[in-house]
Every structure is written in C-alpha cells, then in structure tokens.
Structure 1
C-alpha cells in the first residue's frame, strides 16, 4: 500500500521510527542504549540477514570484498592480519557504523570511509580518488558495502583493472550474480560503465585513464542505460539494496 505522497509506508515507518531510535540509542554507552543500537543494526540496517551470509570473497592475494561486517567479524580480521577496511557506504549516524569503528580500533585496523554508488556510474574525480586510495592503503585489506554485491563489486573490478593491471574482461567478473549483483536492475549501470570502456578500447586501443579523462561522459552513459522492470523489482523492492 502506498501513502498519499506515493511513498511506501514501510519507508515512511522506518524513517520516522529510525530517527527516534537513533536519538534514543545515542552512542550506545549504556546497556539499554546498547540494546537499542543492536536492534537498529540488526533490523533497521538488515544486519540480521548478514548473520547468515557475510559474502566475504577473495579478490586477489591482497584484497578481499564483502558485505557490512559485524563487530566480531571486524575483530577476526584484525587477528588475521588485515590492515585496512574500506567502508564504501561512507560515515553514517547508524549503530552499524559505530560498531564497526569501535571494533576496527580494537582490532588495530584502519577504517577508511570512501563513498561509492550503485546506481550511478562513478565520476572521473571519484575514479582518480579511488586510484589514489588503492595506492595509499595498507594491505591486506577488505572493501565492503551493505550487501557486498554492487559497490563492492565495481570497486573490486576497478582494483583489478587500475591497480593490478588486469584485463577489463577479468575485472568485470567481479560484477556477477554469484556475489548477488543483479545486472538487469538499476545496478546494471555499473556493468554498462565497464562495457563502455571495453567497447572504446576495442575500437581504437585507448587505455583506461585516457578514456576516463578525454571521452568518458557519466551523465550520457547513465542516460543510455535502461534497467529492466523485474530487475528493479528484485533490487529495490525485494532485496532493498542501497
């Protein structure tokens, strides 16, 4: 059922009561607030599903990808020798983020916030910033978004392409259904981005950074892409991806 403004009642409910919940749990420093924080992390941020499946996968010998980790998973990464976690969701007033920051500090891991998008192709500026990030962080490292499917996928693909010099076709395999990525929905614009480069490279041999700096138009590329209705239904309504 939709509201008078055309927005799903579920979204209005979670926005309204999510704000109240965040105000009540504050920084989670008392037992009651800690319980509220866990409720927020598990049910508002859908962390209950990640209890069953973290989606942690190996990208290369130095990089792993995954969904939003729970605190004990972050601490386990520290014991395994991981040096950096790159949070592709960005900093948020969310219990999940507060838990992650605390656990990273306890585990001796550097937490880096770097925002990526799942329904827009990355800007040239964002691509250059990502290149600098890959060159500056300590490894081994984990990159994660919420589900480990879309933003983690395009970031892993770009890591292989621009940092390790792997072929674009190999890099694109990081955007695959086995990771939970749905190319037929709006998130398929990420596949379209890589396909556009592959097409340009095959036409005249252009290298990736020359293409980004001289020919790449993310606005036009976004306008070209048409998502499927069923794919959108799965990604936006069923899976509720960010």
Structure 2
C-alpha cells in the first residue's frame, strides 16, 4: 500500500512538472508569451548552458555540428560564413523552434527542418530525408539537435558515410564521449544502428543509404537493443 502511494505521489509530481513546462512553452504572439517562451528556452530547454558550451565541431569542410545555438551564436556562425541551418529537432512549434526560426529569418539564414530521435530508432523515411537534405542544403551549414551529442552525432556519421564516402568504422567516431554521447544510455540505440550496418556490410558490402532504403528495419533494431539492455535513463 505504501509503495502504491509513493508511485501515485511520483506520478503527480511528474504531471505537475509537465504542466509547468507546458505553461512556459508558448508561441511568440504577445509580449507575455514571448517572455514565458524565453524562460522556457533558457531554463527548461537549457539554453543557459548552450550560451557558453557549444559542442561545435567542423566534421568536413563547411559542415558543422553543434548543440542548439542561441541567437548570439547563430550570429557568430553567420559571421564565420555559415549560410544554412539543418535543424534535427523537428518543427512542431515548440518555443525553442519558434525562436530559432525567428533568429534565422532575422539573420538571413536558410532553415531546413528534419526530425531524428535520440532514444529510439528513426524510421527509414526520416533517415533518408536527412540524407536528401545533405544533398540539397547550401554550404557552409550547421546541423544541430538539442545537446549536439546524439542526434547531431548520428546525423554527422550519416553525412560522412553517405556524402563523404567514409567507412562506418571511421564515421562512428561522431558518436563518442568527446561529444558527450554515451552508448550505455538509451541513446545507445544509435550506436546499435551503426553496429547492425557494420555487421551486414562486413559480410556483403552495401552502401549505407542502400541498406537503409532496402533492408533497414527500425522495429527489429529497437527490439534487439531493448532486449539486451536494461537501462536506468
């Protein structure tokens, strides 16, 4: 009985936290909503950290990976010659996306939106859409997720394989502790995707994009990963 009461209390606390976050995750249509969106970005989306910690790296000439830049950092990237932004967080209308879109419009940066997942295997369509964006986006460009550790790392590995022609054994360095990515968390499913491709490629070579298009099974990969891991995060 005590355990059930503790679970209910924990659930209420989680719901209270979700409600609080949602109350600040607003659009920019009024000064008050803009103020609340700024608070959301700063504290709930952790922009307070990303003002000084960038996780920025140039992975190929004119191709950068980063955590989610602040407006000031977008301006600095433009000054370095960046013309386009590949957002890997989707465009669902959250405060962090609305302010990013506004920053890009003000600075004259082209914003391209795609969606990847950090803690579950992305669909083939989502991965192929990222590859298509790599082929069409103007350079120099920066790709980003929230922390620049997981989705940006996975997308960087994809870029190196599909566009630069690097082998998976080299491209997988994009998912490493250097960028604050740890395969023992739930984000390790991204490593498992590359592991699965490397195993398949070793027995009968196939390009990464072709593998995604013809053989990749995200449900199977996710099930394999879940079955062999019992993760706390």
Q: TM-score, normalised by structure 2?
A: 0.88
Bigger shift: residues 190-199 or 211-220: 211-220
Q: Describe the SS at the equivalent of 1:148.
A: coil
Distance apart, 1:33 and its partner CA = 4.3
Q: Deviations over 1:41-77 (max 9, x none)?
A: 1112121222231111111112111111111111222
Answer whether contact 1:65 1:142 (CA < 8 A) is retained: yes
Of 6, 24, 27, the residue aligned with 1:21 is 24
Distance apart, 1:12 and its partner CA = 2.0
1:162 aligns with 2:175: no
For residue 188 of structure 1, what is the aligned residue in structure 2?
A: 188
1:224 aligns with 2:224: yes
With over 3 angstroms needed to count, the CA separation of the structure-2 counterparts of 1:113 and 1:213, relative to structure 1, is closer
Q: Describe the SS at the equivalent of 1:185.
A: coil
For residue 118 of structure 1, what is the aligned residue in structure 2?
A: 118
**1:68-217 pair list within 5 angstroms:** 68-217=68-217
Work out the CA distance in 2 between the residues paired with 1:213 and 1:102. Answer: 34
Corresponding pairs, count: 228
Answer whether contact 1:28 1:36 (CA < 8 A) is retained: no
Of 8, 17, 35, the residue aligned with 1:4 is 8
With over 3 angstroms needed to count, the CA separation of the structure-2 counterparts of 1:219 and 1:22, relative to structure 1, is closer
Distance apart, 1:92 and its partner CA = 3.7
Distance apart, 1:100 and its partner CA = 1.3
Distance apart, 1:98 and its partner CA = 2.2
Answer whether contact 1:41 1:96 (CA < 8 A) is retained: yes
For residue 239 of structure 1, what is the aligned residue in structure 2?
A: none
Distance apart, 1:28 and its partner CA = 5.8
Work out the CA distance in 2 between the residues paired with 1:120 and 1:82. Answer: 30
Work out the CA distance in 2 between the residues paired with 1:8 and 1:183. Answer: 31
Q: Describe the SS at the equivalent of 2:60.
A: coil
Q: TM-score, normalised by structure 1?
A: 0.85
Work out the CA distance in 2 between the residues paired with 1:104 and 1:7. Answer: 38
For residue 66 of structure 2, what is the aligned residue in structure 1?
A: 66
* Unmatched segments (≥5 aa) in structure 2: none
With over 3 angstroms needed to count, the CA separation of the structure-2 counterparts of 1:134 and 1:8, relative to structure 1, is farther
Answer whether contact 1:185 1:228 (CA < 8 A) is retained: no
Work out the CA distance in 2 between the residues paired with 1:99 and 1:197. Answer: 37
Work out the CA distance in 1 between the residues paired with 2:164 and 2:77. Answer: 23
Q: Deviations over 1:194-240 (max 9, x none)?
A: 111111111122332333233322111111114655xx44xx4xxxx
Answer whether contact 1:79 1:107 (CA < 8 A) is retained: no
Distance apart, 1:167 and its partner CA = 1.1
